[in-house]
Structure 1
Amino acid sequence: MKNTLSHIIYDKTSQLPNTWNDLGQKNIFLSKEYLEVLEKSAPTNMTCHFIGLFQDNILVGIAVSQFLDLNKLESFGDRDQCIKAHVRKFILKSFSSHVLLIGNNMLTGQNSFILSDSITASQGIQAFKKAADELKIKFKSIGKKVHITTFKDFFKKDLENFNTIAFKNNYKYCIQPNMVFEIQKNWKSEQDYINALSKKYRDQYKRARKKAEGIEKRKLHLDEIIRYEDVIYDLYFHVAKNAPFNTFFLTKNHFRVFKETLHDKFLFYGYFLDDKLIGFNTLIKNGSVMDTYFLGYDDSIQREKMLYLNMLYDMIAYSINKGFKEIIFSRTALEIKSSVGAKPIEMFGFMEHSNSQINKHVPKIFPKLEPEIVWQERNPFK
């Protein structure tokens, strides 16, 4: 079938066609409501666009793009102070500071696009590639030359869709896996999960719960999220700044805007000790899937009370009780997520540098830039 697809790039959600959510409802992260959250509270170094694909004036595909200006970052993450980390920062600032993504750098998983059944994935991806090329021209016109263009977070089964001439100069990369927790059909309560654990990991569960005695967990509503906004941001920023690598930092109003816009689909839990907020985590309901989002904590209390591990157990308990099928735990902290039962799923992406000489060397350079993660996969179940 001849590919007669056209595209329109939108700067604002108010411009989106009325039929956008016919496709957007399949994934909350491409719904008009979520895109409004990005529009109102994206990181300051991020510019978002929304792409519609049309066939005979009918919307057949939607996507999100993000332009990242890494020059605006004060820190790429302060945890690693090794030479490799300094080299990575130098290379990113010097040669790769302007990154254009088809996809969402704030999430893990295929949240890049949705297509209708009337076109193939290969057709859609090639059309989005043309939109990305147009976006590069758009940014160049305002003095921002795109250095790297990337399509991110695809499953192994999706890779054949990129086997086209449009991606012949792209480097296929595979970075840290997405940690996914599958909820067994026969689990109806947290106790069913505990019963499925082997003795070693049941003991880990009991030890963590005992350590957390005295901590009160509360679901926070919008007025409380606003009231605690400064503390929330400090807790988030502490965790984010100590990550091995960052390409953005959230704005202070991000969680408030999320709650205002997505209401009950966005859950915010605060953890209190002696009436003081010492940690929080966030969840997003995405159909039958629960996505974990950003969290924060006071590090000194986190260690003593095993707060992070308790948060993972709380997320699992809630998701089982509410009948979700799986939990997306995303990247980072791979081993501890593995210890509660999450499994690593390989995710792939494609990237191309605008400088053809540099692009030739990307297969050698890129693996050296990735923070090295050494971890051991666990199986906590009987």
Structure 2
Amino acid sequence: MPVSCPSIRPPTPRIGTEWQKVPGAAGWRLKHFRTPADWTDWARDFSEGSIWMSASYLKFLHEHPQGMDSEAIALRHDDYDRPILLSVQSTGFRLADQVRASISGGEWTSRVWRRVLGQIPLRIKVIGQLLVSGPFGGTGLDALPPDQAVDVLEATGRYLMQTGSGFMGLVIKDLFPKDHPVTSGLEARGFAPLGVDPVMCLDLTAFASFSDYLGGLSSKYRVRYRRARKKLAGLERRRLSKEEVLTKLSLIHDLHRETAGGADFSLVEVSREYFVWLRERADFHGYFDGEELVGFTTGMVSGETYHAHFLGMREAYKFSHHLYHNMLFDLLKDALLARSVVLDYGRTALEIKSSLGARAEYWAVVARGRHGWMSRWVGPLTRLLHRPPNWEARSPFKGG
């Protein structure tokens, strides 16, 4: 029976740790990973190429919530050799706490909306990965025909809604591009597209070294690079040892919070434990003014991609030393030294990342309310929380 058939309500699935049939997706079996013991059965052969879908990472997030609870779903079908693996996260927030005057139309309007929305707590399930941007919250879906991928995602979402209490909606994040048939198929089933920034990625295949990269820049952008580097004078960048990360952990966390506080909207709250986990796996660099740590970056290699992960800085240095701009150049250097194919700069700060050569990749984020009438409010409500900025793509390379 097709998932979209409105005449028959699928039975409520049971909650358990064994493989079970998925109502609405014929032939598919599902296992829900939601306790520490479950991870021993995670399909490592199909996930270990990605840090973000590895058993160790997902288990860490399950045991150390980062502003949200983390679980996972595995699906199998006899006609397919590999399973589908999906990261699942759940989070809650009050809409009123997220309404910004700059987004909602001014301070007076934002006060009105905060009053209207003040008593509305919102709990949602997310299929995808909230701690990284791009298609890193699932594996295996690309092997399916688009209509079957839509069936599987909708049926999995229905299962999550029916086995979790108090959740108002489901978000499917970054699993397919915005212009993919699966995305249009989900929208046809009642999922509303959310306005999110593109992911900024820089193709590194043309550069054997950072010198090659600089040689490819037009004279205008080489001048900008030299100007930014001159502004950095007085600061020292050096790799932080595992011991230094521990001794400076509170300061690192504070620097990250100072930077993250400027975001329009966020569903995650990165803890100190997350940076402890990162120290074992990431390129962890600090920026020092004398002996004072005033900023840091973390970079992660996963497959062919170098991820510019969490960073933080004293806000004043962002302007006095062009620190953020210089961090982007340094992360590019790190990615080339790691011989990665792509540098994933993530979302936000689109124009400045574009000025380094990053291109926008548009990944779909879609949402549907638990009940049909809720879905009509998804678009208007999200526009109160974040509106993609107007920005101009730059072409820093010769002949660009």
* Fold shared, TM-score > 0.5 on shorter chain: yes
Q: Which residue of 1 aligns with 2:12?
A: none
1:139 maps to 164
CA distance in structure 1 between the partners assigned to 2:140 and 2:55 by the alignment: 15
> What displacement does 1:379 show?
1.1
Q: How far apart in 1 are the matches of 2:250 and 2:99?
A: 21
Match of 2:197 among 167, 176, 191: 176
Give, in angstroms, the shift of residue 240 of structure 1.
1.0
| Partner residue, 2:55 | 32
CA contact (8 A) 1:42 1:254 kept: no
What SS is found at the alignment partner of 1:16?
A: helix
How high is the sequence identity, in percent, across the aligned residues?
24
Give the one of 94, 98, 115 matched to 2:123.
98
Deviations 1:265-310 (A, max 9, x none): x221111110110000111101111011111001112211111111
What amino acid maps onto 1:277 in structure 2? L
Residue 137 of structure 2 corresponds to residue 112 of structure 1: yes
Per-residue CA deviation, residues 160-215 of structure 1 (Å, 9 max, x unaligned), is 12555896121133521111111133x11111111111111101110111111221
Change (3 A) 1:181 1:10: same
8 Å contact kept, 1:98–1:146:
yes
SS of 1:33's equivalent?
helix
Distance 2:251 2:376 in 1: 46
The alignment status of 1:195 with 2:215, answered yes or no, reads yes
Does residue 330 of structure 1 match 2:350? no
Q: Structure 1 residue 50 and structure 2 residue 72: aligned?
A: yes
Show the counterpart of 1:354. Answer: 370
Question: What CA distance in whole angstroms lies between the structure 1 residues aligned with 2:110 and 2:361?
Answer: 26
Gaps of 5+ in 1: none
Q: How does 1:162-173 map to 2 (within 5 A)?
A: 162=183, 164=185, 168-173=189-194
Deviation at residue 32 of structure 1 after TM alignment:
0.8
Q: Is the 8 A contact 2:31 2:75 kept in 1?
A: yes
User: Does 2:149 align with 1:127?
Assistant: no
Aligned amino acid, residue 38 of structure 1: L
1:291 aligns with 2:311: no
Computed over aligned residues only, the root mean square deviation of the Cα atoms, in angstroms, reads: 2.9
Q: CA deviation at 1:135?
A: 2.3
Contact 1:78 1:243 in 2 (8 A): no
The answer for the alignment partner of 1:148 in structure 2 is 169
Which amino acid in 2 is paired with 1:151?
I
Asked if 1:313 corresponds to 2:333, the answer is no
Structure 1 consecutive aligned stretches of length 4 or more whose deviation exceeds 4 Å: 56-59, 77-81, 84-96, 116-122, 162-167
Q: How does 1:201-240 map to 2 (within 5 A)?
A: 201-240=221-260
Instruction: Give the CA deviation at 1:350.
Output: 1.9
Contact in 1 for aligned 2:218/2:396 (Cα 8 Å)? yes
User: CA offsets per residue over residues 37-93 of structure 1, 9 Å max, x none?
Assistant: 31233323x11111111235986111111111114x995497948346556666776
Q: CA deviation at 1:366?
A: 3.8
Task: State the alpha-carbon separation in 2 of the partners of residues 166 and 196 from structure 1.
Answer: 41
Change (3 A) 1:184 1:165: closer
Distance 1:67 1:193, change over 3 A: same
Aligned to 1:7: 30
1:66 to 2:89 alignment: yes
**Structure 1 residue 20 corresponds to structure 2 residue 40:** no
Which protein has greater RCO, CA pairs closer than 8 Å, 6+ apart? 1
Of 281, 288, 294, which aligns to 1:278?
Answer: 294
* Distance 1:179-1:207 versus aligned 2 partners, 3 A rule: same
State the 1:337 CA deviation.
Answer: 0.7
Distance 1:148 1:40, change over 3 A: same
* C-alpha displacement of 1:224: 1.3
Letter of the aligned partner of 2:391 in structure 1?
W
Which residue matches 2:15?
none
Count residues in correspondence.
370
Q: What stretches of structure 2 of length at least 5 have no aligned partner?
A: 1-24
Does structure 2 retain, via aligned residues, the 8 Å contact 1:292–1:329? yes
1:370 shift after superposition: 2.6
Structure-2 residue corresponding to 1:160 = 181
C-alpha distance 193-157 of structure 1, shift in aligned 2 (>3 A): same
Residue 269 (structure 2) pairs with residue 249 (structure 1) = yes
SS at match of 2:167: coil
Assess if the C-alpha contact under 8 Å between 1:179 and 1:330 holds in 2: yes
Alignment check: 8 A CA contact 2:265 2:385 kept:
no
Contact 2:76 2:84 in 1 (8 A): yes
Q: Which amino acid aligns with 1:376?
A: E
